[in-house]
């Protein structure tokens, strides 16, 4: 999603977001927290190697609770070491892509992980081959009481489990069934040549993904249009390949679902998270009901920018000029700590630890990974990678990743290793909750109308990008899967028509659907991971409901319920975990509520633009002055 620089009270701002060289180490990872030296790394590496034949010796013997418990204990010890080994090599490589030690260790652990996977591949098939009655007895046995939910999940899988020979055959076919994504990646990332455009100052810019996103925010509309049309034209050359690979991927998903006796690819994807179909259906139906609010926002953009119609290349240009100074990282830290105070002193104490103990690698450096993420192992603290540049986007990204980190901290303090993960359905709740809280705090602290306007637009864009857009993607997915399941094909023309029709429906009468926008579907790699994107929307709705309860509840019960959710990890299905946190995602109400909030924000934007007497020509001139010099 796109964000704009925030103007804060002058007293909080320094002249630069960058630290002095003496302070910089405080914002770099200390990977010695994982292993003090390569010697310790090799010791765990050898321990995993030694454990593999012992694990393999259990094959064919999983018929009583005591033996299975012994296997689980050894497997956990081995997996935890392997997780740390992999983390160490991965982080070192992301700090410096040319680190030869990291490359060597990474290759060693990758090979070791493959051996581990081969030696332990028998476990789940053997357990699933047991009669359901036996699985139920194992679930309630004393030696396996810590694995009751795990066996509950196995029982849920039982009706969709094939014979041993069929399972082996499906496992052998799996790489081929997933090859469409690999072909797409080669076409979209390897073979694809991004186009170039000339800037108003005469310089030629190659439209990489990052550059293209920046161009769509440029205040010179002629330049935005040129960039958009060049990018759209460049996709034309690969649309037939992309259509064929997407068709192959969807066919594979539907075949897999059919073989496993699911009624559809959607049903199979939802079953993987124990999510009822009504959650997906409610999400799309509620969003459809609230499309008029999105139409109104597009109309407001049209008026504010002084346009006849809003084209795709007008959807991201800021409505407020970006002229404020960057936010220093120490200020960002203070803002985040203040904004998250509603979550309680223990939460803030853990966030403080993250900064004090170097859990964050903050600044961009040559040869460092350019993205951002939170990762870690069960036996380490979290590690957050950022490329902080002083923008509001950077501050919110820091808060977002700290949400993921705190989720892991609370879970790992409470849950055993086998319940320490998080479903995607719940993982994004903790991160977006932090963003909601921080945005609310910043809005209350804003000193000027301009600051409030920027933050208001940020909240609107967050909901547009994370909910409306992802639901539109989900509608696209549902339609193409239904068509393939019913024996239809997917040609580039059909996909283009479907995509363009959805754009018109979602953005409304003020939006002009350019033919070049029709190829937007081929830019979304998530479509090769079926029915993944809807979870971003449900997570945003769930976190909005949780934060709203925290802000309005004076008893502290809402915070208590939320902490219980953070501690629960993967110990139950996502729907039940969220219900305990006070959010029923089987009801349309959480989605309805966040969409009503969107409508309120759009009304407030209209009021603020009107009260500030903004004329379209003035807005464009202000944006132009702020941008042409960059």
Token duo for residue 513 = 């659907």
So what's the pLDDT on residue 26?
Answer: 86
pLDDT tens digits, one per residue of 42-83: 999 999 999 999 999 999 999 899 999 999 999 999 999 999
Within 374-524, residue ranges assigned H as helices are 392-414, 424-445, 449-463, 469-485, 492-507
Strand order in the sheet with 360-361: 360-361, 383-385, 373-375
Distance CA 118, CA 188 (A): 31
Residues in the chain where the model's pLDDT stays below 50: 1-18, 20, 22, 616-630
Strand partners for 196: 206
How would you class 425 by CB atoms within 10 Å of its CB: exposed for 0-12, middle for 13-18, buried for 19 or more? Answer: buried
Residues 82 and 110: beta-carbon distance below 8 Å: no
pLDDT tens digits, one per residue of 8-38: 332 233 334 445 454 567 899 999 999 999 9
Q: How large is the angle between the packed helices 329-339 and 392-414, nearest 10 degrees?
A: 50
So what's the pLDDT on residue 323?
Answer: 60
Distance CA 101, CA 499 (A): 46
Distance CA 445, CA 6 (A): 12
Distance CA 208, CA 153 (A): 43
So what's the pLDDT on residue 2?
Answer: 29
Residue (of 441, 429, 416, 456) closest to 598 by Cα position: 456
How would you class 573 by CB atoms within 10 Å of its CB: exposed for 0-12, middle for 13-18, buried for 19 or more? Answer: buried
Distance CA 475, CA 281 (A): 10
So what's the pLDDT on residue 419?
Answer: 96
Distance CA 86, CA 102 (A): 10
Read out DSSP for 318-337? Answer: -SS---PPPPPHHHHHHHHH
So what's the pLDDT on residue 202?
Answer: 82
How many CA atoms lie less than 13 Å away from 144 in the CB half-sphere?
Answer: 25
Residues 116 and 52: beta-carbon distance below 8 Å: yes
So what's the pLDDT on residue 41?
Answer: 98
Distance CA 327, CA 389 (A): 8
So what's the pLDDT on residue 21?
Answer: 52
Distance CA 438, CA 451 (A): 14
Residues 584 and 543: beta-carbon distance below 8 Å: no
pLDDT tens digits, one per residue of 318-366: 888 766 689 999 999 999 999 999 999 999 999 999 999 999 999 999 9
So what's the pLDDT on residue 614?
Answer: 55
481-519: b (≥16 Cβ within 10 Å) or e: bebbbeeeebebebbbebbbebbebbbbebbbbbebbbb
Q: How large is the angle between the packed helices 239-259 and 265-272, nearest 10 degrees?
A: 70
What positions carry a catalytic annotation?
Answer: 401
So what's the pLDDT on residue 621?
Answer: 36
So what's the pLDDT on residue 370?
Answer: 81
Q: CB neighbours of 214 closer than 8 A, spacing ≥ 6?
A: none
- Phi, psi angles (nearest 5°) of residue 197: -135, 160
Cα dist. 550→433, 517, 525, 608 in Å?
Answer: 10, 40, 35, 27
């Amino acid at each position: 999603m796109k964000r704009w620089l925030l103007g804060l009270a002058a007293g909080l701002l320094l002249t630069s977001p960058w630290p002095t060289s003496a302070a910089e180490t405080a914002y770099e990872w200390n990977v010695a927290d994982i292993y003090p030296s390569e010697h310790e790394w090799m010791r765990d590496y050898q321990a995993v190697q030694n454990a593999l034949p012992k694990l393999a010796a259990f094959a064919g013997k999983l018929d009583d609770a005591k033996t299975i418990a012994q296997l689980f204990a050894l497997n956990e010890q081995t997996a935890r070491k392997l997780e740390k080994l992999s983390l160490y090599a991965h982080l070192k490589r992301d700090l410096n892509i040319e680190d030869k030690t990291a490359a060597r260790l990474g290759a060693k652990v990758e090979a070791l992980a493959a051996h581990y996977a081969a030696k332990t591949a028998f476990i789940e098939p053997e357990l699933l081959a047991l009669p359901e009655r036996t699985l139920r007895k194992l679930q309630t046995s004393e030696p396996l009481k810590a694995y009751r939910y795990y066996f509950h999940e196995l029982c849920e899988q039982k009706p969709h489990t094939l014979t041993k020979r069929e399972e082996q055959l499906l496992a052998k076919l799996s790489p081929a069934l997933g090859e469409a994504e690999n072909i797409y990646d080669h076409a979209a990332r390897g073979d694809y040549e991004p186009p170039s455009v000339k800037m108003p100052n005469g310089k030629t810019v190659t439209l990489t993904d990052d550059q293209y996103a920046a161009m769509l925010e440029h205040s010179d509309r002629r330049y935005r249009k040129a960039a958009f049309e060049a990018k759209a034209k460049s996709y034309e050359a690969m649309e037939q390949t992309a259509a064929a690979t997407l068709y192959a991927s969807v066919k594979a998903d539907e075949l897999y679902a059919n073989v496993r006796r699911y009624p559809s690819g959607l049903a199979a994807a939802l079953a993987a998270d124990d999510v009822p179909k009504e959650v997906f259906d409610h999400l799309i139906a509620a969003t459809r009901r609230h499309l008029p609010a999105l139409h109104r926002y597009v109309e407001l953009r049209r008026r504010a920018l002084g346009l006849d119609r809003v084209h795709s290349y007008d959807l991201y240009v800021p409505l407020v000029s970006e002229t404020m100074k960057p936010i220093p990282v120490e200020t960002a830290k203070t803002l985040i700590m203040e904004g998250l105070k509603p979550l309680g002193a223990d939460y803030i104490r853990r966030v403080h630890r993250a900064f004090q103990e170097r859990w964050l690698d903050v600044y961009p450096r040559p040869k460092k990974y350019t993205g951002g993420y939170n990762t870690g192992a069960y036996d380490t603290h979290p590690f957050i990678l950022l490329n902080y540049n002083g923008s509001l986007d950077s501050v919110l990204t820091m808060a977002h990743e700290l949400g993921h980190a705190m989720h892991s901290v609370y879970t790992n303090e409470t849950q055993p290793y086998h319940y320490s993960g998080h479903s995607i359905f719940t993982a994004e709740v903790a991160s977006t909750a932090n963003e909601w809280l921080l945005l609310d705090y910043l809005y209350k602290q804003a000193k000027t109308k301009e600051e409030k306007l920027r933050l208001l637009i940020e909240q609107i864009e967050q909901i547009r990008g994370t909910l409306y857009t992802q639901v539109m993607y989900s509608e696209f997915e549902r339609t193409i899967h239904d068509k393939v399941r019913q024996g239809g094909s997917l040609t580039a023309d059909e996909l283009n028509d479907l995509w363009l029709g959805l754009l018109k429906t979602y953005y409304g009468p003020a939006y002009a659907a350019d033919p070049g926008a029709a190829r937007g579907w081929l830019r979304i790699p998530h479509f090769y991971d079926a029915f993944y994107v809807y979870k971003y929307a449900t997570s945003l709705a769930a976190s909005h409901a949780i934060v709203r309860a925290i802000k309005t509840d004076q008893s502290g019960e809402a915070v208590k319920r939320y902490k219980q959710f953070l501690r629960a990890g993967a110990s139950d299905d996502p729907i039940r975990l969220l219900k305990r946190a006070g959010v029923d995602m089987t009801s349309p109400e959480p989605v309805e509520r966040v969409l009503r909030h969107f409508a309120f924000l759009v009304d407030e934007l209209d009021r603020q633009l009107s009260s500030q007497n903004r004329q379209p020509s003035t807005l464009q001139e202000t944006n132009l002055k702020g941008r042409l010099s960059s």
